[in-house]
Amino acid sequence: MLTRASSECTNTFSDRHIHGLAGVDFATSDVSAIRAALSLLASRRTTGVTASIPTIDLAALPDTLDRLRSLQTGGLLDGVHLEGPFLVPEFAGAHPVAAILSPQEERGKRFLETVIEQQTGSRLVTMMTLAPEVPGFEHTVGQLVSYGIEPALGHTAADYHQMRHGIAMIHAHTGRPVTITHLYNAMRGFHHRDPGPILAVAEAVERGEVIVELIADGYHVDLHLVRWWLDRWPEAVRLVSDASAATLPEGVEPLYAGRPRLGHLELHYPEATGPQLAGSTTLASGGKDLLSIHDDLVATGFDHARVCAAMQR
């Protein structure tokens, strides 16, 4: 049921970073299960969906993309976001370190070739997150852009200069704001003697060169900080759920009763925290979908118009 706050937002939401919902994992579930999850999302006002796929083995990639292609062709998906594999192990987060690759190693080259092959005839993959310090970054950015894939930056140990260079490189190729994947999460933090990537991002916001993703579920980023960003730079914020198969909105029954997964990794959802990797305390995904985030933010006094706009960007 939609609450009064959610019904006041006249438009639907677009979630550009979501791995699944209610027991369904976009990377591994079958087409019928994913279709059911997309239907559930649409009933909860999220009609624009970019399916985010975590770092997975090259052998599993073609089948995953083939299943999602049928949903994009049918108008149910906006595209696919590959979150990896060109990340750094130090900030892998919930991604399997063994599957993280360099674009300059043979397996990394084959991964990128496979992605490019999948672009023939349709632009299925719309975005790929990579770290700006990985070897071969500049060449990889050029390849992605030439095949219609937006390079985004995240899961990074980059210092200030590396992030500044990465933003400038992508912006020069695309002429559009660069997406920063879930700002603050899975990246080097800010310190007054070593500002790291955060300062480079803030400076780029002032120049209109970036859009920052924020996971405003109350677990990933303090909501005072979310409010600060929305008050200061509302046009540069994209609110995303980063939801997964372990994310279950209140009052919703699971679509699949098995152990929730993120790609090939099992998840669990302890009380008072977001979904975690099974057997660890590593946050693995968002704890709420966009409708729940929207209603919670508005109920705590966030500017309603700004929240809605940030969920439609």
Out of 53-62, 186-195, 273-282, which region has the weakest mean confidence (pLDDT)?
273-282
What pLDDT was estimated at residue 119?
87
Cβ atoms of 308 and 294 within 8 Å: the answer is yes
Helix ranges (DSSP H) in 235-303: 290-299
**CB-based contacts of 188, cutoff 8 Å, min separation 6:** 91, 156, 157, 158, 159, 196, 197, 198
What pLDDT was estimated at residue 76?
94
What pLDDT was estimated at residue 286?
84
d(CA 288, CA 309): 18
What pLDDT was estimated at residue 77?
96
What pLDDT was estimated at residue 61?
95
**Confidence tier at 260 by pLDDT (50, 70, 90):** confident
Q: Coil, strand or helix: which one is 73?
A: helix
**Confidence tier at 140 by pLDDT (50, 70, 90):** very high
- For 272-282, write each residue's pLDDT tens digit: 677 888 777 77
Percent of the chain with pLDDT over 70: 96
**Confidence tier at 285 by pLDDT (50, 70, 90):** confident
Mean pLDDT for the stretch of residues 266-289: 79
What's the whole-number average pLDDT of the chain?
92
Between strands 13-18 and 265-268, the pairing is unpaired
What pLDDT was estimated at residue 5?
46
What pLDDT was estimated at residue 2?
42
Domain 13-310 indexed as CATH 3.20.20.140: yes
What pLDDT was estimated at residue 8?
58
Per the model's pLDDT, the better-predicted residue between 190 and 231 turns out to be 231
What pLDDT was estimated at residue 283?
74
**Number of helices (H) and strands (E), helices first, in the chain?**
10, 13
Q: Where are the beta strands (DSSP E) in 220-287?
A: 237-240, 261-262, 265-268, 276-277
**Confidence tier at 270 by pLDDT (50, 70, 90):** confident
**Confidence tier at 215 by pLDDT (50, 70, 90):** very high
pLDDT higher than 70, residue 9? no
pLDDT higher than 90, residue 262? no
**Confidence tier at 100 by pLDDT (50, 70, 90):** very high
